[in-house]
Amino acid sequence: AQKITQTQPGMFVQEKEAVTLDCTYDTSDPSYGLFWYKQPSSGEMIFLIYQGSYDQQNATEGRYSLNFQKARKSANLVISASQLGDSAMYFCAMRGLRAGNNRKLIWGLGTSLAVNP
């Protein structure tokens, strides 16, 4: 069975510092994709970054990067130079990529990040 685990219900970080949000996953699919979304207090779900299981390099997108460790089945999100606007819930999600796979994303329960001034 596929599963996403986010073990940190809440995190605090000082403005301008880096923070790592943990995500571990379990899957039997040989090929899969990992996604991170941000949900600020306004409620919208915002796509941040994607990592494919066969990608040779860790994904980066501006201040967001993904620390992908396949052997450990972890896909941690790193936010560099935190800003007050980064305060939000962050969700990790996964989907198998084999042809014919269900398009359903498996979601973690999220991590609440608070950036302190």
* Binding of other proteins by 110 (CB under 8 A): yes
Q: What is the CA radius of gyration of the chain?
A: 14
Nearer to other proteins, 63 or 95 (CB): 95
Does 105 bind other proteins (CB under 8 A)? Our answer is: yes
Our finding on whether 12 is near other proteins (CB under 8 A) is: no
Classified as helix, coil or strand, 8 is coil
User: Whose Cβ is closer to other proteins: residue 40's or residue 84's?
Assistant: 40
Position 46 contacts other proteins (CB under 8 A)? yes
Number of H helices, E strands in the chain: 0, 12
Q: Is residue 9 within the footprint of other proteins (CB under 8 A)?
A: no
Cβ atoms of 37 and 45 within 8 Å: the answer is yes
CB 16 within 8 A of CB 84: no
| DSSP H or E run through 63 | none
Task: List residues binding other proteins (CB under 8 A).
Answer: 33, 35, 37, 43-47, 50, 52, 91, 95, 97, 102-105, 107, 109-110
